[in-house]
Amino acid sequence: MDDHDSQRLNKLLALRLGVSRREADDLISKGNVSIDGQTAELGARVAAQASVFVNGAKLPTATQLRYILFHKPVGYVCSRKAQGDNPTIYDLLPDDMRVLKPVGRLDKDSSGLLLLTNDGDFAHSMTHPSFKKIKVYTIGLNQPLEPLHQQMISDYGVEIGDGASKLSLERLSDDRTEWQVTMSEGRNRQIRRTFAALGYEVTKLHRITFGKYQLSQLAEAQFETVQIAA
């Protein structure tokens, strides 16, 4: 096979399925991918005219990669299916965006910047800990943050069950209940768990920055398309 007329199978799967190349490699290694009727192997290349099947279904034709910035309101879950009485973010988005996946998540009670895409490699580069993407939030607490607790969170970290959580804090209000939080990790509900470990409740959590992307003036429940440099 001429390499100029082919491409790596994991790259093709990532583009067509909206998964990362690592996830594509997992599909291949598990024997779930075939090329012209033969089980594919890791590192395989595939010609443009080849017939590729994944889990018994023909690989979808090429789709345009999309990148959306969305201002998520409080009260909506980042899921395609409603959870109990809670509506989903897709209730606020056009039907053609239901195929896009959230890049990271914001829980029901959180608001702010959410990225959505069908580019698995982009999603992986934004969320895997090794890339250390900076995220910035504004938060509200149910009571003033004690200076000692501020120092613990900023300088030493607070144990939250899956390791110590260390956050950068900047005070936003004189009464010490409103703060800006900067972090590069992304553990599940990490900010809420960090403050809960010290006896505080996070009453507001709003993301304003994710990597190089900012919420800026995007109104609540509104979205915009962005271009990603190759």
Q: Which residue numbers are catalytic?
A: 107
Q: Return the SS3 of 56.
A: coil
CB neighbour list of residue 40: distance below 8 Å, 6 or more residues apart = 9, 28, 33, 34, 46, 52
- Contact between 212 and 133 (Cβ < 8 Å): no
- Contact between 72 and 111 (Cβ < 8 Å): yes
Question: Shortest CA distance to 69 belongs to which of 208, 229, 184?
Answer: 208
Alpha carbons within 13 angstroms on the beta-carbon side of residue 196 total 9
